[in-house]
Amino acid sequence: MIDQADVVVIGSGGLGAATAFYLARDGSRHVALVDKHELASQTSPRAAGLVSHARSTDLMVELVRHAARNIERFADDTGQPLEWTRSGSLKVARRLEDVAVLESEIARAERLGLDAEAISPADAHRRNPFLHEEGVLAVARVGDDLYFDPSQVAIGFARGAEARGATLLPRTNVTRVRIEDGRVVAVETDAGTIRARVVVDAAGAWTRQVAEASGIRVPIVPTRHQLFVTEPLDGVHDDLPIVRIVDAAVYVRPCSGGFLWGVFEEEPRQFEMDALGPRFEIADLELDADVLRRAADDVRSQLPALRDAKVREHRGGLPTMTADAQHIVGPAPGADGFFIAGGCNVAGLSISPAIGDVLANWIVQGEPPLDLTPLSVERFRAAPSEERLRREAAWQYRHFYTSA
């Protein structure tokens, strides 16, 4: 155990580990990366590993491009392995209103120089023969999209940070960030106190608990999300484009000769972390295979293989939703030195190589390298009631492909 650091990062998932890595790589700060569980063991390794470039704002497109660049050079930068494939993606509209969504995404993507275009259902089927034309009204192809092995990202960043001098402290529970006269002075853990003037709350589903112990509100709702990985299927290869079906909110990508696929369900299960108890970890999360079976039924005309494929793995985790589906990144008002990297909105792992880089820069330089005001927690100053927050967060989850 150490008793002092320049920066303490709480949480070794994608967001925290990436921040610790880029801080350690800068070399001007001593960084401690603290996790109450084993390193990189909670929601991050359970993700799908999809990187989507067609986003609803220019800022998000810029951040995703930054993240994709850092993913491609991950192994060189961190010295740790990361398997990734630039497969491109096909986004499918089955309803007229979703055709307009795809058109506006393509227009933004083209304006920002992405490799995006509308293609015919027949062309989509040719590119991914597992996607059938029946009921498909329109398809947007994004050539920039990629996927990666989610189990390698957070641990790779953590090990890369350690190699550059960061101290890793697994199985160390942060109980409170001590704030005196409006600034961070220390982090209290169950193994002792670490004096530090900067802290990053990247505690995933627990981000809110960590912040609230210091009187800071972070309005996010931990929301269960789950996926299946199938046994290998004839004809599946790594380069098949990712498929997303907008209204069904189903996604699928190749995985070890089979498919990995998930769904944003109609009635998502939301969680209150305190109610789960102090010993809860994501491995204890109750999963529900029926949610996925119903989704396979919904898309049976377009993706018939999902209904019949044998399931090899069923996994899930607790990403956190905000009321507007945008992340929460940056300083907490009224607590100098307290930064937040949360509100992942089921897209936090893919963006973590950008958020970590940008946040590290912000901490070292004292100002952000690009304007992140839209992601500030201050936008929620007029905090909605808990009931409204949960309602809006559920809506954002259900409408993932039309709002994110």
**Binding interface with ligand FAD (CB under 6 A):** 10-16, 34-37, 41-44, 46-50, 173-174, 202-206, 210, 225-227, 262, 316-317, 319, 344, 346-350
What's the start-to-end Cα distance of the chain, in Å?
A: 41
- Taking the least distance from each CB to ligand FAD, the nearer of 97 and 190 is 190
- Taking the least distance from each CB to ligand FAD, the nearer of 69 and 111 is 69
Position closest to ligand FAD via CB: 13
Q: Are 92 and 131 in contact (CB under 8 A)?
A: yes
Q: What are phi and psi of 148, to 5 degrees?
A: -140, 170
Buried b / exposed e along 181-212 (16+ C-beta atoms within 10 A): eeebbbbebeeebbebebbbbbbbbbbbbbbe
- Taking the least distance from each CB to ligand FAD, the nearer of 262 and 331 is 262
CB of 190: closest distance to ligand FAD in angstroms? 9
CB of 133: closest distance to ligand FAD in angstroms? 26
Count each helix (H run) and each strand (E run) in the chain, helices first: 13, 22
According to DSSP, the residues that pair with 28 across neighbouring strands are: none
Query: Can you state the angle between helices 14-26 and 153-163, rounded to 10 degrees?
Result: 30
CB of 175: closest distance to ligand FAD in angstroms? 7
- Taking the least distance from each CB to ligand FAD, the nearer of 12 and 152 is 12
Q: Which token pair is 159? A: 């090990």
CB of 244: closest distance to ligand FAD in angstroms? 10
Query: In sequence order, which residues have a C-beta less than 8 Å from that of residue 30 and are 6 or more positions away?
Result: 4, 5, 6, 7, 165, 166, 167
- Taking the least distance from each CB to ligand FAD, the nearer of 268 and 317 is 317
C-alpha to C-alpha distance for 24 and 7, rounded to whole angstroms? 10
C-alpha to C-alpha distance for 119 and 247, rounded to whole angstroms? 18
CB of 377: closest distance to ligand FAD in angstroms? 15
- Taking the least distance from each CB to ligand FAD, the nearer of 132 and 186 is 186
CB of 204: closest distance to ligand FAD in angstroms? 3
- Taking the least distance from each CB to ligand FAD, the nearer of 183 and 314 is 314
CB of 223: closest distance to ligand FAD in angstroms? 9
Pairing between β-strand 311-317 and β-strand 258-263 as defined by DSSP bridges: unpaired
According to DSSP, the residues that pair with 336 across neighbouring strands are: 183
CB of 178: closest distance to ligand FAD in angstroms? 14
Q: Are 358 and 372 in contact (CB under 8 A)?
A: yes
- Taking the least distance from each CB to ligand FAD, the nearer of 49 and 258 is 49
According to DSSP, the residues that pair with 146 across neighbouring strands are: 51
What is the spatial order of strands in the sheet that 198-201 belongs to?
A: 167-169, 31-34, 7-10, 198-201, 338-342, 328-331
CB of 202: closest distance to ligand FAD in angstroms? 5
Q: Are 25 and 77 in contact (CB under 8 A)?
A: yes
Q: How far is CA 100 from CA 15, 57, 313, in A?
A: 33, 16, 35
DSSP character string of 362-380: HHHHSS-SS--GGG-GGGG
The residue among 362, 25, 90, 70 whose CA lies nearest residue 62 is 70
- Taking the least distance from each CB to ligand FAD, the nearer of 258 and 316 is 316
CB of 44: closest distance to ligand FAD in angstroms? 3
CB of 354: closest distance to ligand FAD in angstroms? 11
- Taking the least distance from each CB to ligand FAD, the nearer of 172 and 302 is 172
C-alpha to C-alpha distance for 361 and 19, rounded to whole angstroms? 9
- Taking the least distance from each CB to ligand FAD, the nearer of 121 and 152 is 152
